[in-house]
Structure 1
Amino acid sequence: MGGITMKKIFLACCLVGLIILSPLASASAAGNLRIGSAAVGSLLYVFSAAIAEVTAKHAGIKMEVLPQGEILTLPLMATQEVDLVMIANDAQGYAYEGKGIYERQTKGKGFDLRVLMLGMRNSASTVVTGDSGFKDYQALKGKRLVLDYGTQQALNLGSRASLIAGGLTEKDVIVLKASDIPEAVRLLMEGKADAVFGGIGVPVFRELSAAKNGILYLEAGDKHWDDVHKISKAYFPMTVKKGPPGILKDTVLVTRNFNLASRPNLPEDTAYQIVKAVWEHDTELGPHHPQLKDWVKERFVGEQTTAPYHPGAIKFYKEQGVWSDKMQARQDELLKMKKR
């Protein structure tokens, strides 16, 4: 009797264990995925929710959007507790290579990621107030700039890339720290900083503009891109047309993509179906946010990617005739990084 009782207890424990673990372990198998984004209300959260809606509607794949940044998401992708991440292309490269803030997390090995698609372009620059009198980067020599944004790798990289594109380096300015853009703007409002970094359309910049006689995004030059690319190959110059707050004329800004990436062992057909759904219905993203009008199929494949593409995505792109020899060369280059 004792042996039978113990066997029953053992089987019961196994059953309980399976019940507890099954929501995490079988998420992909059941057609339910988890995507890490950022806090509720952030651009990345909105973008992730839009992608989730399109894939659920047209591919039958449900996605749970998790309001957490890549610092929390990437380790969970390694354990298959999260399947996808919405991430800036520059930060993605540092995560893949195990550099910057990800070096300690991975002991320099990096997180193994696979790109499903490059998304909308995000232009950014150093921002000054309308009453500051600053008109270009050279005027910022010796001034106080917020360049250190803690664990926000994309901001840390972008702020420095924009500074270099403008012809300056960290040695030319006084470097300040802030946890995020709202805190950096507060320092600017209080007169404790002279310039901050941020993208077009950041909500808190509207408040800054109203309080400080407008804002100005400083223009990147065209002479320093080799130095910019030493930070990341994710960046490219893009002309932003006059109109948005802070863009008083057509202005060239440092730009990079936001990407949808996955864990490398996401099933090939799942990756294929996600890409197919968004490719065929990219026009359904725009109503969720004006910037998602720029999340279009023509930019899903790009040599500026900082991590290799998923085989399922490549299969679809080859069928569409958009996977070139140059893309395959870039793919091979990125894959070799993990073999060093």
Structure 2
Amino acid sequence: MKKILVVCLLVASMSLLPLAPATAAQQSLRMGTASVGALFYVFGAAISEVVGNHAGMKIEVLPQGNIMTLPLMASHEVDLVMLANDELEYAYLGRGIFERQTKGKGYDVRLLMLGMRNAASQLVAGDSGIKNYQDLRGKRVVLDHGTQQALNIGSRASLIAGGLTEKDVVVIKASDIPEAVRLVTEKKADACFGGIGVPAFRELAAARGGILYLEAGDKHWPQVHEISKAYFPMTVKKGPLGIERDTVLVTRNFDLVARADLSEGEAYTIVKTVWEHDAELAPKHPQLKDWVKERFVGEQATAPYHPGAIKFYKEKGVWTDKMQAHQDALLKMKKK
């Protein structure tokens, strides 16, 4: 009887002790993405599902935009975020709109993986008579997108790749891509920026006799890289809407990013799971066919990799001396 009483007292006393930290498989993480229906939301939801199915790690997707998401990482209210590689550079270094948010210090974030390539350009209506970037000189071009930092950067980079600057055009403002498309549709703007496969561009094509993505030149990449090191030229084969022949477009990766103090184990588990099951992403969206393990590590990274990710990549033999040198250079760029 006394033994039973002692056991009961021990169990009762243990129930009053604080719970041990949850394991990676038990924890619920939060991922910030763009609004519901946007590509980043679709991609974030797909990765969340794959990690949940195979690692038992629940990742809640929060579609509230990066301007809202990034400040919440410091308080651990958000753990992961989907970012374009050019926007990641600006967020990490505290440039552009993120300079005001961080007083120039930037956000303490780390890259988990480089994802799919997103080829983009200024595009025009099929009935506009505009065939190349030089035809845009003096025309109305949507370059300002409010707090949409990736669009603000990309629209200017694409213009520079075509041999122009914003001084060569009339700058038009729009809050997002749907509004920019509406302005072009209504002939209140002559061109707007966007990537291949954006659904809103189909509406523009239907209303204005098709669309055309303008081709980037090959002479202005040093100037493009002054905007961001994230960009590189990529030839898109004829076929997609707006691509009438093989066309070189300004391209950057979409990335999965974590707060710097996410545990090494959690970062490792996420990277390992997506690496091993990347083929399951493609059925969830056509563009996710390009989110493959062969692209996860690359010198186009614009922020340092997370130690947990590096640990996994070293195990797979894809973390080279060049990557370590690039990592060290990125770490030194951070303002104190």
- TM-score (norm: length of structure 1): 0.91
* Secondary structure of the corresponding residue to residue 78 of structure 1: coil
Q: Establish whether residue 140 from structure 1 lines up as the match of residue 126 from structure 2.
A: no
Kindly indicate whether the alpha-carbon contact (under 8 Å) linking 1:27 and 1:33 is maintained by their aligned counterparts in 2: no
Aligned residues: 318
Q: Show the counterpart of 2:237.
A: 241
Alpha-carbon deviation of 1:27? 9.9
Cα deviation digits, residues 55-104 of structure 1 (max 9, x gap): 11111111000011111111100111110001101001000000100111
Distance in 1, matches of 2:115 and 2:296, equals 6
Superposed counterparts of 1:1-340, under 5 Å:
30-338=26-334, 340=336
Contact kept, 8 Å, 1:242 with 1:250, in 2: the verdict is yes
2:69/2:81 contact within 8 Å kept: yes
Identity value in percent: 75
Task: Report the AA paired with residue 56 of structure 2.
Answer: G
Where do 5+ consecutive residues of structure 2 fail to align?
1-17
The C-alpha deviation readout for 1:89-142, integer Å capped at 9, x for no partner, is 100100000010011110111001100000011000000011111110001111
Q: How many Å apart are 1:291 and its aligned residue?
A: 0.3
Counterpart Cα distance in 1 of 2:217 and 2:140: 21
1:134-155 Cα offsets, whole Å, 9 max, x none, are 1100011111000000100000
Alignment partner, residue 10 of structure 1: none
2:43 counterpart letter in structure 1 = F
Residue 338 of structure 1: CA displacement?
A: 2.1
Return the alpha-carbon distance in structure 2 between the equivalents of residues 173 and 114 of structure 1.
36
Cα shift readout 1:261-282 (whole Å, capped 9, x = no counterpart): 0001111011001100000110
Counterpart AA for 1:46: V
Give the residue type in structure 1 aligned to 2:90.
Y
Matched to 1:260, the amino acid is L
2:282/2:289 contact within 8 Å kept: yes
Change (3 A) 1:310 1:167: same
Equivalent residue letter for 2:120: A
The 3-state SS of whatever aligns with 1:123 is strand
Contact 2:83 2:257 in 1 (8 A): yes
What amino acid is aligned across from residue 273 of structure 2 in structure 1? A
Paired with 1:78 and 1:89, the residues of 2 have a C-alpha distance of: 20
Q: Distance in 2 between matches of 1:305 and 1:151?
A: 23
CA contact (8 A) 2:87 2:149 kept: yes
| Deviation (angstroms), 1:285 | 0.2
- What CA distance in whole angstroms lies between the structure 1 residues aligned with 2:306 and 2:103? 24
Unpaired runs of 5+ in structure 1?
A: 1-18
Q: Distance in 1 between matches of 2:96 and 2:213?
A: 26
Which amino acid counterpart does residue 109 of structure 1 have in structure 2? K
Partners of 2:306 and 2:111 in 1: how far apart?
A: 6
2:11 match: none
- Partner SS state of residue 185, structure 1: helix
Q: Which amino acid aligns with 1:261?
A: V
Letter in 2 for 1:96: Y
SS at the partner of 2:61?
strand
Aligned to 1:14: none
